[in-house]
Chain A
Amino acid sequence: MSAVLPRHRVNVLTGIKSARLVEDAAECANYIQKAKRPLLVIGPLLLQSQADGKLLLEYALDLAKAGGIPICATAQTRGKMVELGVQPDCVYDAVEIVNALKDPDWKGVRKEGNHDLVMFFGIRSDLGSQGLSTLKHFAPHLKTMTLCKHYFPHASYSLTNFKKDAKWQEFLESLIAELQKGG
């Protein structure tokens, strides 16, 4: 059981099964590469720019490209993706994609079968935490991972609470580089 507290206390876990903390980009890449049908679910928090002016969404798109991972865009995220020249593989809102994922017989976004690893990136923390809770309890057929800058105990794998955005960005860049190596 992890001793890490989630960044937002509304997400404090009350049970005993909590996420494995992933602090090494190579380890994170390994989990992704081992998955047969990963999926990246991206949310509207990625529409924010970082200090260097780069959109968080660009990290997500680079990551998906490096890992050959299909993208599910939630809320209004699709519009910006299209502007950046990328079409999402599907568009659902957060609760809709979670609802589909919890069905083991769902065919997945590429109609190749349900996904075995789902990465969440850019969903509001309280909603994200609740969605991860749904999957923890009702989707034993898949693993979940979060790429946000805070710890999410309901996930299978979570990053830590980054105090500085630059460190988080560094992690994401390393992860993308690892995936590119693997590809």
Chain B
Amino acid sequence: MAVAETKKLSKKLEELSKLIRAEIPWEPVGPTPMPDIPDIRSWDMRLLKTYQPFYAPFCDLCCLCTYGKCDLTAGKRGACGIDIATQQARVVLLACLMGCSAHAAHGAHILEHLIEKHGRDKKIDLGESITIEAPHIRTVLGLKPETLGDLQIALEYVFKEVGHLLDSCHTGQEGSALDYESKALHAGMLDHVGMEAGDIAQIVGFNYPTSVADTPLVDMGWGAIDKSKPTILVSGHNPATSTEVIDYLREHSLEDQVEIAGVCCTALETTRYSDRAKIVGPLSRQLFFLRAGIADVIMTDEQCIRTDTPQEASKVGAAVVACLDKAMYGLEDATDMEADEIVRRMVSNGEHFAILDSAKAAEVAVKVAMEIAPKRRKEWLAEEEAIELAKKCNDCAMCEQVCPNLCSIGAGITQLAKGEFEPLRVLFNECIGCGKCEEECPRHVPIFRLMQVAAGNETWKARAGRGPIMDTEIRTVGAPITLGTIPGVIAIVGCSNFPDVDDVADMVEEFAKRKYIVVLSGCSAMVAGMKKDADGKTVYEKYPPDFEGGGVVNVGSCVANSHITGAAIKIANIFAALPLRGNYEVMADYVLNRVGAVGVAWGAYSQKAASIATGCNRLGIPVVLGPHSAKYRRLYLSRKEEDDWQVMDARKKELVETGEPSPEHLAYVCETKEKAMPMIAKLCIRKNDTPQGRAIKLNHYISLYKKYMGAGLPEDLHLFVRRDADIPLVYKKEVRAHLQEIGWQPREPVGLPTYIGTYPSKVSIDAVIH
């Protein structure tokens, strides 16, 4: 038996070695190339020991099989034996798998599309400033991808693992919440591989900007769209078709005659391809724009698209082309139909179609838009009309009861009826654009159209996404980030389920002016630009686009999130010279203990956000979420004065009880923006900080606390002051007095902090010494 197992293992290793071309010695292959579910489990369990899962069940029941429904309240188990904690972890894993699959399948579709155009052997070249082209694929798989075909190897690995993980969600499988968490962390890690493969393919295949920081500023807001022209709206995440539309317009010299605008991540992708494309706004503006009727043709691709797009389009006489098999809406598949016949039926009969051939879909969209646009009315309501319509509202508050963001919409409408637009404009900033209020209104008040009038036609600028952080930038900032003199990297990412849209620009402003590096992606990258200062400038116009202290960097769409986490890996690999190949634990340990990076998903709503965040967590990056995100059911929280803050000092090879909760949490929900500000600064603190770096970080923590939380010092400040030299100069007197009062005692900083050596692992302590 043992002999048979050895042979099987050897064969598996042999196949794996072939896949990752292990014989090419660009780096030695580490302990976990292409890891299976159990391979990094020990690391997960170490994380989960300090950052224990905190469950907030969104539902008391399990409804997944015909044994149920099973009530799991107050210690009850389901018919299969599952308890409420394990059920929450199982649902979180399912969410992560949906998110991971969405990105990886997007990547796979794009790869297939681009391989058809350019061939499998198309070289990956991200420009002269990027040599570590795929930090996740190199770290997780141990493969250095050189061609588009190599990216397929990465995605095939992801799909294989996703299959195993999904299997574990079946009834009568995993019985441990912690093991489900380890699996969710595995799915999160895979997600970053899938995102990276997808975005590298896009950069290479579509010739997106790369190795450049100063990408163009593009127009944003529905007011930026010239509604006198035929307008095509691209919606979703996958640019396979929107790029074809631009090609078609270029080839037919129609660029000046047709507007192309995007909503959600396809907007960001499209502006990476052409700076003449416009950004309507984030996901929360999708239904507003559909109902405005400005778009003549709506092209949907995948993820975060309204599932009622054809119905909404029909209401305003717009046409729909569903471009991907992920969402075909029950429409007739016209992929094999003649383009002119599709156009005829769309124009004459008002039909919508699914067209899965990107070039044909592009041709049809342009032709239909040009034919139907002159016949369509695209007028906003006049203010006087809006006031009259608002008078129908009797403030019954039905709208408020169904609002997921808990907005008092009726109050705004009744004010509008009196001619006051400002309250509704404020509500518009809090609106997540779901439309449930309008559906519920017994008097059929057209709430969206009224909000649109209140919001006006303001336009903004957003910087086009730039893809990976350059190796040259990593070399410059590696030392100041790990020493703490650049106080942190704040990645503000994800969807637009914000408590208030303005929060994001406020966060960017606060941290950029304090010389943190601020990185943005997805809908957050858009809304960061949707607020102007007194001089009429957005944060993209005020701050440099470089990955440096005080820089504001838009990496791109959802899949570009992999470049943010990839930058953290690059710091370990390029700056600290730690080998990354098949060496995930060492990379994650380095990031957790030495790279002061924090993710902020203030408007997270999707399963993709769950998997991105969970992937950040496995890599040692804490994530701050908005208040509604308790509905994700699970956080990773420590109990700062009671948990295990023991690390190994790798140089002395000694265990050290630091008592320092840095970073304090891995997945944390903040109640308000005011609370989030000091929390984000605190989560940048790392045990590796030099006294100078720690003093800078504490300076920001204290000053943000005073600014947003009221007078006094943070209650937990003493936990982060190791020696007097850590105390920021400006607060020296106040902090010393406070520390003396509570009996604080100094302690030695740890020379080279690491978790390696504090839990069972294949990795030796020497592996973390650089």
Q: Which residues of A contact B (CB under 8 A)?
A: 7-10, 13-17, 43-44, 74-76, 78-80, 82-83, 90-91, 93-96, 98-100, 103, 123-127, 130-131, 133-134, 136-138, 140
**Structural contact, B401 and A9, CB atoms closer than 8 A:** yes
Q: Which of B702-737 contact A (CB under 8 A)?
A: 708-712, 715
CA distance in complex: A9, B439 (Å): 14
| B73 and A80 contact, CB distance less than 8 A | no
The answer to whether B672 touches A138, judged by C-beta atoms less than 8 angstroms apart, is: no
Determine whether the beta carbon of B711 is less than 8 Å from that of A136: no
26 A–B contact pairs at CB < 8 A?
A: A9-B401, A10-B404, A10-B631, A15-B72, A17-B73, A44-B674, A74-B675, A75-B672, A75-B674, A78-B712, A79-B709, A79-B710, A93-B675, A94-B669, A95-B635, A95-B669, A96-B637, A98-B56, A124-B627, A126-B406, A126-B630, A126-B631, A130-B631, A133-B57, A137-B73, A137-B84
Residue pair A91, B715 in contact (C-beta under 8 Å): yes
* Contact of A127 with B402 at beta-carbon distance under 8 Å, contacts A95-B635, A95-B637 already known: no
User: Is the beta-carbon distance between A126 and B628 smaller than 8 angstroms?
Assistant: yes
Contact of B712 among A82, A95, A103 (CB under 8 A): A82
A17-B71 Cα distance, complex, nearest whole Å: 9
B57: A residues at CB distance < 8 A = 133-134, 137
Given contacts A15-B60, A131-B630, contact A123 B671 (CB under 8 A): yes
Whether B75 sits at the interface, judged by CB under 8 Å, is yes
Known: A8-B400, A76-B710, A131-B630. 9 other contacts (CB 8 A): A79-B711, A82-B711, A95-B635, A100-B639, A125-B406, A126-B406, A127-B630, A136-B74, A137-B60
Query: Which of B54, B56, B61, B708 makes the CB contact (< 8 A) with A15?
Result: B61
Question: Are A8 and B401 in touch, CB under 8 angstroms?
Answer: yes
CA distance in complex: A13, B73 (Å):
12
A137 to B59 CA separation, bound complex (whole angstroms)? 11
Interchain CB contact under 8 A, B637 and A130: no
Q: Closest approach, in angstroms, between the C-beta of A94 and any C-beta of chain B? A: 5
B55 is contacted by which of A14, A75, A137 (Cβ under 8 Å)? A137
Min CB distance, A21 to chain B, in Å? Answer: 18
Query: A8 contacts which of B74, B406, B674, B708 (Cβ < 8 Å)?
Result: B406
The reply to whether B672 and A76 contact each other, CB–CB distance below 8 Å, is yes
Contacts of B61 in A (CB 8 A): 14-15
| From A75, A79, A82, contact of B671 by CB (8 A) | A75
Provide the B666-679 mask, 1 if CB < 8 A to any CB of A, else 0: 00111110110001
B402 pairs with A9, CB closer than 8 A: yes
B744 in contact (CB, < 8 A): no
In contact, B630 and A136 (Cβ under 8 angstroms): no
Measured CA separation A15–B675 after assembly (Å): 32
Q: Is the CB of A76 within 8 A of B401?
A: no
Contacts of A103 in B (CB 8 A): 639
Interface size on B, residues (CB 8 A): 42
Task: Report the bound CA distance from A134 to B627 in whole Å.
Answer: 15
Contacts of A79 in B (CB 8 A): 709-711
How many Å lie between the Cα of A76 and that of B671 in the bound state?
A: 9
Chain B nearest Cβ from A143, distance in angstroms: 13
B507 to chain A, nearest CB (A): 15
CB pair B639–A136 under 8 Å, yes or no, is: no
**Any A CB within 8 A of the CB of B58:** yes
Known interface pairs A16-B71, A82-B710. Does A99 touch B54 (Cβ–Cβ under 8 Å)?
yes
Residue interface mask B185-221, A partner, CB < 8 A = 1 = 0000000000000000000000000000000000000
Chain B residues 655 to 696 lying within 8 A of chain A, measured CB to CB, are 668-672, 674-675, 679
Question: B671 to A43, Cβ gap below 8 A?
Answer: yes
* Cross-chain contact A15 with B630 (CB below 8 angstroms): no
Whether A76 touches B60, Cβ cut-off 8 Å, given contacts A99-B54, A124-B406, is no
Q: Is the CB–CB distance between B406 and A76 below 8 Å?
A: no
Task: Give CA–CA (A80, B672) in the complex, Å.
Answer: 15
B711 contacts which chain A residues (CB < 8 A)?
A: 79, 82
Docked CA distance A8–B405 (Å): 9
Q: CB-CB < 8 A to A7: which residues of B?
A: 401
Chain A residues in 8 Å Cβ range of B401: 7-9
Chain A residues, CB < 8 A from B631: 10, 126, 130
Interface residue from A95, A123, A126 paired with B54 (Cβ < 8 Å) = A95
| Minimum C-beta distance from A45 to chain B (A) | 10
Contact B672 A15 (CB under 8 A): no
Minimal beta-carbon separation of B578 from chain A (angstroms): 34
Chain A residue with Cβ nearest B637: A99
B60 to chain A: which residues have CB within 8 Å? 13-17, 133, 137
Q: Judge whether B74 and A95 touch: CB under 8 Å.
A: no
Chain B residue numbers with a CB within 8 Å of A98 are 54, 56
The chain B residue sitting closest to A44, CB to CB, is B672
Instruction: Please pick, from B74, B406, B671, the residue contacting A93 in the complex, using a CB distance under 8 A.
Output: B671
Nearest CB to that of B88 among chain A residues?
Answer: A137
Cα–Cα distance between A157 and B738 once the two chains are bound (Å): 40
- B-chain residues with CB within 8 Å of residue A9 when the two chains form the complex: 401-402
Taken together as a complex, chains A and B put the C-alpha atoms of A46 and B743 apart, in Å, by 34
Q: How far is the CA of A76 from the CA of B55 in the complex (A)?
A: 24
Q: Chain B contacts of A99 at CB under 8 A?
A: 54, 637, 639
In the bound complex, residues from chain B placing their C-beta under 8 Å from that of A93 are 670-671, 675, 679
Residue of B nearest to A83 (CB): B710
Q: Nearest Cβ distance between residue A70 and chain B, in whole angstroms?
A: 15
**B55 touching A138, Cβ below 8 Å:** yes
Chain B residues whose C-beta falls within 8 Å of the C-beta of A95 in the assembled complex: 54, 630, 635, 637, 668-669
In the assembled complex, how far is the CB of residue B294 from the closest CB belonging to chain A, in whole angstroms? 31
Residues of B within 8 A of A76 (CB): 672, 674-675, 708-710
> A107: shortest Cβ distance to chain B, in Å?
10
Q: Which among B56, B60, B712 has the highest number of chain A CB atoms within 10 Å? A: B56
Task: Determine the chain B residues whose CB is within 8 A of the CB of A137 once the complex forms.
Answer: 55, 57, 60, 72-74, 84
**Which residues of chain B from 229 to 276 have a CB within 8 Å of any chain A CB?**
none
Q: In the complex the two chains form, is A140's CB within 8 Å of B669's CB?
A: no
Q: In the bound complex, what is the Cα–Cα distance between A100 and B54 (angstroms)?
A: 10
Bound-state Cα–Cα, A79 to B678, Å: 14
Which residues from chain B contact A82 at a C-beta distance below 8 Å?
710-712
CB contact list, B613-654 vs A, under 8 A: 627-628, 630-631, 635, 637, 639
Task: Name B628's contact: one of A127, A131, A133 (CB within 8 Å).
Answer: A127
Give A161's nearest chain B residue, CB to CB: B401
User: What residues on B are CB-neighbors of A140 within 8 Å?
Assistant: 74-75
- A123 — which chain B residues lie within 8 A by C-beta? 671
B407 to chain A minimum Cβ distance, whole angstroms, is 10
B645 to chain A, nearest CB (A): 16
Residue of A nearest to B57 (CB): A133
Could you tell me if B710 and A78 are in contact, using CB atoms closer than 8 angstroms?
yes
Chain B residues with CB under 8 A of A126: 404, 406, 627-628, 630-631
Which B residues are CB-close (under 8 A) to A83?
Answer: 710
Contacts of B402 in A (CB 8 A): 9
CB distance from B749 to the nearest CB of A (A): 26
Chain B residues with CB under 8 A of A78: 709-710, 712
In the complex, per-residue mask of B386-419: 1 if CB is within 8 Å of any chain A CB, else 0: 0000000000000011111010000000000000
Chain A residues whose CB sits within 8 angstroms of the CB of B74 once the complex forms: 17, 136-137, 140
Closest to A163 in B: B397
CA distance A136 to B406 in the complex (A): 23
Say whether, besides A7-B401, A44-B672, A91-B715, A130 and B709 are in contact (CB < 8 Å).
no
**Cβ of A55 to closest chain B Cβ, rounded Å:** 14
Closest 10 A/B residue pairs (Cβ): A79-B710, A15-B60, A130-B630, A130-B56, A75-B671, A76-B674, A75-B675, A127-B627, A14-B59, A134-B56
A10-B404, A76-B708, A96-B637 as given contacts; A127 in contact with B671, CB under 8 Å:
yes
Q: Given the complex, which residues of B lie within 8 Å of A80, measured CB to CB?
A: 710
Q: Write out the residue numbers on chain B whose beta carbons fall within 8 Å of the beta carbon of A8.
A: 400-401, 403, 406
Contacts of B72 in A (CB 8 A): 15, 137
User: Scoring B residues 173 to 194 as 1 if CB is less than 8 Å from chain A, else 0, what string do you get?
Assistant: 0000000000000000000000
CB neighbours (8 Å) of A130 from chain B are 56, 58, 630-631
Q: A9-B402, A82-B710, A127-B630 are in contact. Are A134 and B54 (CB under 8 A)?
A: yes
